Amino acid sequence: MRNYNLDIAGYNIRFESEDDGPELVPSERFDNFICSGGKPDFLIRVHTGSFTFHEKTERVFNAPYVEEVNGLMMKKNDEFWSIFQYNNDLFLKTVFPYSGNNEEAVLKFSLSQSVWDLWFSSKSKGIDPLSYPLDGLILYYLTVISGDIMIHASGVNYSGKGYLFSGVSGKGKSTMAKLWDAFGAEVIHDDRLILRSESDGFYMFNTPVYKNEKPAKSKLDKIFLIEHGKENRIVPAGGAQCVSLIMANCIQHNWDKKIITRLLDSVSGLCDKIPASRLFFKPDHSIIDFICGNEKR
């Protein structure tokens, strides 16, 4: 197709390709997020061909390619994706580690404009504009523009209450989601959420990672910053500690003070409105009883 719209976390994102441009072929995990048009919040125009940077373009942020090996993060390649800047224009350049070839893409974007351009060096007839890692990176910068938060967390809704369990890799997000799923809760996502402030409070949204996912949204009532423990224990977190613990689990590219300030403002606003606690938990269903029992007090 030449164009389509996605509704992800309430952002209406339109992808367009011109007549002589590539065929757009979103991967299956976006199937349930395709929506029927409407006024887009963001427009991404997709092109094929190489992009030439201005000679004075500077790299402002770099992400090497790392993989987890036996629990350790090992750097596999110095070059994965980077952010560049020339005057007011920003550029994201990335390779595709799972594609097995040397293709790359360049996204020209801005934090003050909602029309972006995306070039793929690929000569394939079909392009998925949100091929990894572009999916997470594009969504991240949409949250920066919107003043929202993207966070490593699982989220569930049980009996109308939305609980967020946040932690980096290995802290138990997926374990927690599985336990609540077995208990009959609605799992919003088990790995990555977008948090948005609406007129009646904060909401959490899933981001498409797995095949057959459907859009999911829940009001957010409590935040738990999780770690495995020998016993189930809650320790309320507030003030600067709450802000810093949540920040540590947010996706953040801190190469620009304005970006950091926006995220700090958003996280501070979240901490002001949503109670947060550190949660040490045993990875069995006793944590469900513990949290539900705690709610009744």
Partner 1 sequence: MINLSIIPLRSPSVVTRKTGNEYVLVPVENNIADMNSVYTLNETGAFLWELIDGENNIEDMIEALIREYDVDEQTATSDVSEFITEMSKYLIIN
Query: Which residues of the shown chain bind partner 1 in the complex (CB under 8 A)?
Result: 59-64, 66, 75, 168, 239-241, 243-244, 247-248, 252-257, 260-261, 264-265, 268, 271
Residue 134 Cβ vs partner 1, minimum distance, rounded to whole Å: 16
* Relative orientation angle of helices 257-273 and 134-146, to the nearest 10 degrees: 70
CA distances from 55 to 15, 52, 62, 180, 287 (A): 29, 9, 18, 53, 56
Residue 248 Cβ vs partner 1, minimum distance, rounded to whole Å: 5
Residue 192 Cβ vs partner 1, minimum distance, rounded to whole Å: 15
- In a 10 Å sphere around its CB, with 0-12 CB exposed, 13-18 middle and 19+ buried, how is residue 86 labelled? middle
CA distances from 16 to 26, 125, 215 (A): 12, 15, 22
Residue 59 Cβ vs partner 1, minimum distance, rounded to whole Å: 8
Residue 281 Cβ vs partner 1, minimum distance, rounded to whole Å: 22
- Cβ nearer to partner 1, comparing 63 with 115: 63
Helix-, strand-, coil-residue percentages of the chain, each rounded to 5: 25, 45, 35
- Cβ nearer to partner 1, comparing 273 with 285: 273
- Cβ nearer to partner 1, comparing 232 with 249: 249
- Cβ nearer to partner 1, comparing 59 with 228: 59
What one-letter code names the amino acid at 53? F
- Cβ nearer to partner 1, comparing 32 with 268: 268
Both structure tokens of 118: 């995306």
Residue 61 Cβ vs partner 1, minimum distance, rounded to whole Å: 5
Give CA torsion, residues 22, 27, 28, 32, to 10 deg. -80
| Residue keyed to tokens 């770690």 | 227
- Cβ nearer to partner 1, comparing 261 with 286: 261
What one-letter code names the amino acid at 109? F
The number of residues making up the chain comes to: 297
